[in-house]
């Protein structure tokens, strides 16, 4: 926040030019973030199965593979290197964490924000057909 204010740049431009942010996201552990996703959706009355459905749609990982990746404590960089991103992932648009997803330049950061956006939509009660862009 302070750096953005000092730079005078809009938030989205700052993120697109921030290698530090991109590197921090790449090295973040999926196993650390997963329980936060689960808590967020369950707090709003959604289920673990629905969360897994959303993650599977985006990445192609089944439940067994997800559990393996969590056990191995892999980071987001490895997580998305091993994923088969859904061909309709580009249809995920909008603002998440203050950033317009479709304008994020770094591929990995955009993929992580796709996942954040899907989890957010699930927690907000959006219908599964809409979340999965069907």
The CATH number of whichever domain residue 114 belongs to comes to: 1.10.8.290
What is the tally of helices (H) and strands (E) in the chain?
9, 2
The larger pLDDT score, comparing residue 7 to residue 39, is at 39
Give the separation between CA 103 and CA 12, rounded to whole angstroms: 8
Burial classification of residue 13, based on how many CB atoms lie within 10 Å of its CB (0-12 exposed, 13-18 middle, 19 or more buried)? middle
> How high is the pLDDT of residue 120?
97
% pLDDT > 90, the chain:
81
- DSSP three-state, residue 101: helix
Q: What is the pTM of this model?
A: 0.84
Average of per-residue pLDDT across 45-60: 98
Structure tokens at 19: 């290698």
As a whole number of angstroms, the distance between CA 133 and CA 53 comes to 13
Which domain does 41 fall in, by range? Answer: 2-131
Q: How many domains does the chain have?
A: 1
């Amino acid at each position: 926040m302070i750096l953005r204010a000092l730079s005078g740049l809009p938030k989205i431009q700052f993120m697109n030019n921030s290698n530090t942010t991109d590197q921090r996201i790449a090295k973040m552990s999926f196993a650390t973030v997963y329980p936060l996703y689960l808590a967020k959706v369950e707090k709003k009355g959604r289920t673990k199965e629905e969360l897994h459905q959303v993650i599977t749609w985006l990445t192609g990982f089944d439940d067994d593979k997800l559990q393996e990746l969590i056990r191995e404590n892999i980071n987001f960089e490895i997580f998305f290197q091993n994923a088969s991103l859904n061909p309709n992932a580009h249809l995920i648009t909008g603002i998440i964490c203050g950033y317009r997803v479709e304008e994020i330049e770094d591929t990995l950061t955009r993929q992580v924000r796709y996942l954040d956006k899907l989890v957010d939509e699930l927690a907000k009660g959006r219908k599964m057909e809409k979340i999965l862009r069907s």
